[in-house]
Structure 1
Amino acid sequence: MDLNPNKILILLFSGSFLLNFLITKILIRYSKKLNLIDHPDQRKMHSDSIPVVGGLGIALTMSLIILCFLCTNQASGIFEFNQIVIISISTSIILLTGLMDDSLGLTASNKFLFQLIATLIFLFGFDIQFKPIFSIESYIITFIFNTLFIVGITNAFNLLDGLDGLAGGVSLIICMTLMFLYYLSGYGIIQIALFVLLSGCLSSFLLFNKPPAKTFLGDTGSLFLGWYFALTSIYFAEKTTLSLSILIPFMVLGLPAFDVLFVMLSRFIKRHNYKISFRNRFKSVFLPDNTHLHHLLVRGGVSKGHTVIFLYVLTLISCITCLFLWINQRVIEINFIYGIIFILLLIFISRLYIEWKIKYRRIKKNRVNKD
């Protein structure tokens, strides 16, 4: 019996939702034996030890369904065999990196090295037809840009998993936006089905991640999501110029990408006044701290729930702006640049306001103590 595409997508969403729910349930039960527990510390916002198996559940669910999909030969003509092998190897490296970090702990430099290896395997092995960036026809420049883009986006999501429901909800909004972009660009049901599959997994995960969270994504999940969105953005380049394919993800992924950018710049600038070498200042940029936007909002007196909602709204604004510009038939690159500037200013002003509010609260508290 033939099913129409809409029914296939509904079945796929339902199947991924239920399967991920069951797998996550099992993983939470055995999380202590697997040593996949996140313990509280000064930087983290939870006070209890929480399993970090949400991302592993999503990865296992997607792997099982995609494997069944490939066995039925439904993906023939979409990806070549060698491309499937390259994606499998590079993605496995990302998942193992996250899994080792969740269970054993890895240094930032080791994580970066493994991410770089996975990225190079993907770019060299997937045979991507690089297009010029802003009319700059240079394979080397484009290759370097793509490498930095993939590693940067992967790390951006790794730093977003700080509040109950935050990373999962933001990822779901981004996933739905990219799905619509793929649909509007004329991609087939196979590519769109991958986003439906991930949407089902994320929706199921949010049931476990809503306050109070029963599990977190963990580095396994956050690295996987960043990697997934980075690769689908690169693949999106085949339907448009690479300039637009890079600008669009920067709008859709505006919150995690620009938040990390602002944090790294602020770390580097703040350490400029200290008598430390440039090398040590550069290394300190990659060290964890509590200066991300969600940390600042909570320290500024905003409740955790309202912080998550506010960041959802920021993500929706950037995604809706991107869709609006893409639907416009007279789309040009400058419009997307204006859109990115708008998102940058929005996040920058939010950070400035919250930092001012934190300083004001501190000054007010000191005055009360003196009195």
Structure 2
Amino acid sequence: MNGFWSSLPLWLLGLSFALAAAAVWAAGITLSNTTTVLDKQFKLSAALGGLILLAVATNLPEIAITLSAALQHNLDLAIGNILGGIAVQTLVLAALDAFGLGRRAALTATSGSLTPVLEGTLVIAVLMGVVMGAQLPGTAVLGRLEPGSLLVALLWGVGLWGIGQASKLPWHLDGPPSETPPQPAKQGKQGGAPMSTRRAALGFAFAALVTLGAGWVLALSGGALAQHFQLSGVLFGATVLAVVTSLPELSTGLAAVRQGKIELALGDIFGGNAFLPVLFLAASLISGQAVLVQLQPTDLYLTALGALLTAVYVFGLVLRRTRQWGRMGVDSWTVVGLYLIGVGGLWLISRSGG
């Protein structure tokens, strides 16, 4: 299959890549709309809906890439995509701040719940589990089970349970921020018939399949494009491929924010970032190799960058500063600056052979 894609002319590779990206974008909007209906049916909060349903569905491209790489015993690209994807998907929040809300208020000032704070904390905890697992010896494999990857999965599962319990607590804001947050956007025509649960489930499943298939095409055509332009696997996986596979989060996030569903958008990003490292367990089981012990300095660097960017938004969610510079809050500008610095550092590490 890789040989087939490598044999295609450059223009056809680019067209396939663009069409797959467009399909992912369109499917992401459907995922956002149908998740709201399913939240109500299964009695999930908007934050938990984003954390569980939407987060897993929008990470189907990363799932496809990881499974393909594990089957081929070629995990370098998948590792870079998973860890680089966390940093890029956190950067998506800055895009939602700028283009979802515009000049109405900073994104982190509009959340009416502390649940996103716990979700961001879970991301940091899971990433610390990745760092711990990377320090274990390569011989620490029980059959096809890598203890470090198992730890990451357990942290994720326990974190989901804890967030579910916390959502039942009577949390409330003591008062509004210094400025009035924006009102939710109007949702379509007044008096329109609500979407049935069956229709929402079918729409969600179809959009998820489109996302998975398009993600597979993105991975294969993108890999061929990287070879054509002679990009390194680490840099390509952590930057170009990570940006493209973050398109579902961008499209679903914009749709959610413009409808006033801030917690759903935040839950999608943080939930997806917490879920991505769990894919290391699947890669370990499929390949029979200890994956985390293969992490290079660039990979650990990306892990720390993802945790750092997440911490900035956790602070923003607690401080709830509404002031904007241009179209974004101070925390979003900080994340953009740190990401650019981080990419520069990644390039220096790769150049030095780390």
* TM bracket, shorter-chain basis: 0.3 to 0.5
Normalising by structure 2, report the TM-score. 0.43
Q: Which has the higher contact order (CA 8 A, sep 6+)?
A: 2
Normalising by structure 1, report the TM-score. 0.41
**Structure number with bigger Rg:** 1
